[in-house]
């Protein structure tokens, strides 16, 4: 039962280990959250996910990444807390602040035809990045941790983060959507592909951009 799994998780020290690719929990569609946890247990779970995400560090964490097959995720991006990244790069990539928030049973819907392709990484595929083309704008629906309805539009990097974390809840990893020839280590991306867009990487590594 979910409550028992959460109790076991809460008994462990923080930050919690992040499940890595190859574990079945990352490939199984998570079940909807239907209020199985007490208010206190849910609050402690969310706090633990926040600490784990920040310590990683990352900009999102889905429950399957800590071993829980339930449709809950947390996201947060300080946006400009990226030392050494030029402002022009942040603007080109659509990187904007995304305050900490909880997504319960989230669903996203593509808005418009425009795609944005950039290098993307994942805490559950440690050490690697690849170029992923995603819808530039989405509609997010679902609930927050209080049960209040979410219904809003997101664009740019915040939309990418929400898509990435929501995909986790369907058993989808970013590498499933990535250009396989773009797969690069963090070190290679920092050394060779730090340009605002992945256009040069596409030319040199032999893949196409949308």
Which residue numbers belong to the known binding site for Fe cation? 122, 164, 168
Q: Which residues contact 38 (CB under 8 A, 6 or more apart)?
A: 3
Catalytically annotated residue among 76, 165, 204, 208: 165
Q: Helices in the chain by DSSP H: which ranges?
A: 2-10, 39-55, 87-92, 156-168, 174-177, 186-192, 199-205
What contacts 174, CB < 8 A, 6 or more positions away? 120, 121, 122, 125, 130, 132, 164, 167
Calpha distance 165→157 (Å, rounded)? 12
Binding residue numbers: 122, 164, 168
Cα–Cα distance measured from residue 121 to residue 154, given in angstroms and rounded to the nearest whole number:
20
The candidate with the shortest Cα–Cα distance to 165, out of 115, 126, 112, 122, is 122
- Judge whether 165 counts as a catalytic residue: yes
Q: Tell me the three state secondary structure of residue 119.
A: strand
Q: Which residues are catalytic?
A: 165
């Amino acid at each position: 039962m979910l409550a028992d799994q959460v109790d076991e998780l809460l008994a462990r020290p923080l930050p919690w280990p992040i499940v890595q690719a190859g574990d079945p929990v990352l490939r199984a569609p998570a079940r909807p959250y239907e209020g199985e946890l007490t208010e206190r247990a849910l609050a402690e779970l969310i706090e633990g996910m926040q600490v784990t995400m920040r310590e990683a560090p990352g900009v999102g964490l889905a429950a399957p990444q800590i071993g829980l097959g339930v449709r809950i995720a947390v996201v947060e991006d300080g946006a400009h807390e990226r030392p050494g990244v030029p402002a022009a790069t942040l603007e080109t990539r659509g990187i904007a602040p995304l305050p900490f928030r909880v997504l319960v049973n989230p669903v996203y819907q593509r808005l418009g035809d425009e795609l944005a392709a950039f290098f993307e990484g994942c805490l559950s595929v440690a050490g690697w990045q690849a170029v992923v083309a995603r819808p530039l704008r989405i509609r997010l629906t679902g609930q927050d941790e209080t049960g209040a309805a979410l219904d809003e539009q997101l664009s740019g990097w915040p939309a990418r983060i929400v898509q990435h974390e929501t995909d986790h809840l369907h058993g989808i990893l970013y590498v499933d959507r990535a250009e396989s020839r773009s797969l690069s280590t963090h070190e290679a991306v920092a050394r060779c592909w730090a340009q605002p867009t992945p256009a040069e990487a596409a030319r040199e590594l032999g893949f196409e951009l949308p």
